[in-house]
Amino acid sequence: MNSAFDLDAAVTGAARAARTLACASSAVKDAALAAMAAGLDAARPALRDANERDLAAGRESGLSAAMLDRLALTEVRITAMAEGLRQIVALPDPVGRVVSQGLRPNGLEIGRVRTPIGVIGIIYESRPNVTVDAAGLCLKSGNAVVLRGGSEAIHSNRALARVLAQALDETGLPRAAITFVDDPDRALVMQLLKMDDRIDVIIPRGGEGLIRFVMENATIPVIKHDKGLCHTYVDRHVDLEMAVEVALNAKVQRPGTCNAMETLLVHVQVAEPFFRAFAPRARAAGVIIHGCKRSCALLTPTMGAAVVPAATADWDTEWLDLNLNVRVVDSLEIAIDHIASHGSNHSEAILTADYDRARRFLREVDAAAVYVNASTRFTDGFEFGLGAEIGISTNKLHARGPMGLEDLTTTKYVILGNGQIRK
């Protein structure tokens, strides 16, 4: 390896720091988080300057509009990062929380308590806010973190890492508790994925290619944060005005995110009136509809829709932009089957006024987040009251959905006795 960055030494330092952090008091951890939030506020000009270097390089290299949106550190997003850290301070510390406790007939008192996982590796692309969100959540939950961001955000991440390191210094916690891999050399990712002797779990956040690469090469357990093929189903029993507002929000509010709607399913009995209200506003927002045959027949130019026939591959495409798949369906059953065939177990929604059909959708749809009469854009740790999120897990084991503090802990048994022996 030709990299100047000593990853082996850095991860060894993180493993040592994890032992210190696991025993740190809530007060010390909260003080560090508060210092990080204050540091972000103070460093706004430097953060914006560093981010502009990344954005300029991204525009020059031809990054898509969605990627540039993910990369941008606006004033609003810096404020959100700082606020997220302050929300984490306000949350209860999960470390040491008693999950269960009981007394055995032989006098042994057996309990389960929450404990940090240890060292968490985060490999991510584009979004520099992940640097802060991941660091804050790992710190509060007593874990050391090794952060490896994408080369497209290297200047932004370096600037953020300096703020985080300063906060650790101010509060007496080891700098290695938040280890930033300050080298874009891709060979370091492969090396990182093999460090199962010191890293306890890897969490990849990014495109399908990154997720697949990590899954195929890691010798460390992986919590997968896969693509978001999110659906919204407009039922035949529905308030059409509400349905139009929710569907538009799910697609256009921020289309480059994994919780944005990629496919809209509409019951045939309400398709025509729904499209008549939805299509002009979708076109005004820049949405291009990839429609099934019946959608294309109904979404005539007189409705003001921009429509192209959907290709077979479109139903499995995470657009991350203003393209939208639309299918007219004959029943709730067909909608659920479509989601089962093409969804990524991320976020799915039904818009309906029928209680029984809503309950059936909640029961039968297999996803990390299932909604009734609300936008899938809410699948987010901040919106769920977690302060921030380490990501949105599409795994079924250990954690699922937006991952907050509790999801970054495991449990251990604590057994108290007074001389018992097994016979």
> CA 12, CA 422: separation in Å to the nearest integer?
39
The token duo for 317 is: 């495409």
Helices 75-90 and 44-61: crossing angle, nearest 10°?
120
- Start-to-end Cα distance in the chain: 56
Q: What contacts 9, CB < 8 A, 6 or more positions away?
A: none
Could you give the count of Cα atoms lying within 13 Å of 406 in the half-sphere of its Cβ?
A: 13
Q: Is the pLDDT of residue 3 over 70?
A: no
> CA 230, CA 390: separation in Å to the nearest integer?
20
399 phi and psi angles, rounded to 5 deg: -140, 155
How high is the pLDDT of residue 151?
93
21-41: average pLDDT: 97
Enumerate the H helices of 258-354 as residue ranges: 268-284, 293-298, 332-342
Tokens 């003001």 — which residue? 304
Q: How confident is the model at residue 382 (pLDDT cuts 50, 70, 90)?
A: confident
* CATH 3.40.605.10 holds for 7-223+403-416: yes
How high is the pLDDT of residue 386?
82
- Pinpoint the residues of the chain covered by CATH 3.40.309.10: 230-378
**Whether 171 contacts 28, CB under 8 Å:** yes
Tokens 């700082």 — which residue? 82
The CB density around residue 281, as the number of other CB atoms within 10 Å, is 15
Q: How confident is the model at residue 25 (pLDDT cuts 50, 70, 90)?
A: very high
The fold of the 230-378 domain, in CATH, is Aldehyde Dehydrogenase; Chain A, domain 2 (3.40.309)
> CA 289, CA 298: separation in Å to the nearest integer?
12
How high is the pLDDT of residue 302?
64
Q: What contacts 138, CB < 8 A, 6 or more positions away?
A: 120, 144, 145, 178, 390, 408
Computed over every residue of the chain, the mean pLDDT equals: 94
Q: How confident is the model at residue 2 (pLDDT cuts 50, 70, 90)?
A: low
Kindly state the percentage of the chain with pLDDT values over 70: 99
CA 18-21-25 angle, to 5 degrees, is 165
How high is the pLDDT of residue 301?
67
CA 174-73-189 angle, to 5 degrees, is 55
343-370: average pLDDT: 97
Contacts 24+ apart (CB under 8 A), 401-406: 401/368, 401/369, 402/369, 403/137, 403/203, 403/223, 404/91, 404/137, 405/88, 405/91, 405/93, 405/94, 405/137, 405/140, 405/141, 406/94, 406/114, 406/141
Tokens 């991510």 — which residue? 124
Tokens 């005005």 — which residue? 241
Task: Give the dihedral sign, CA 337/342/343/348.
Answer: negative
User: pTM here?
Assistant: 0.84
What confidence tens digit (pLDDT) does each residue in 261-308 have? 999 999 999 999 999 999 999 999 999 999 999 999 998 766 777 899
Could you give the count of Cα atoms lying within 13 Å of 52 in the half-sphere of its Cβ?
A: 7
The better pLDDT of the pair 174, 391 is held by 174
CA 298-233-64 angle, to 5 degrees, is 80
The token duo for 358 is: 């809503």
The better pLDDT of the pair 116, 186 is held by 116
Residue 126, phi-psi category: left (phi > 0), alpha (psi -120 to 50), beta (remainder): left
CA 332-351-382 angle, to 5 degrees, is 125
Q: How confident is the model at residue 66 (pLDDT cuts 50, 70, 90)?
A: confident
Widest CA span of the chain, in angstroms?
Answer: 84
How high is the pLDDT of residue 1?
45
Q: Is the pLDDT of residue 19 over 80?
A: yes
DSSP 163: H
- Pinpoint the residues of the chain covered by CATH 3.40.605.10: 7-223+403-416
Residue of 357, 303, 18, 39 whose CA lies nearest to 169: 39
DSSP per-residue letters across 332-354: HHHHHHHHHHH--SSEEEEE-S-
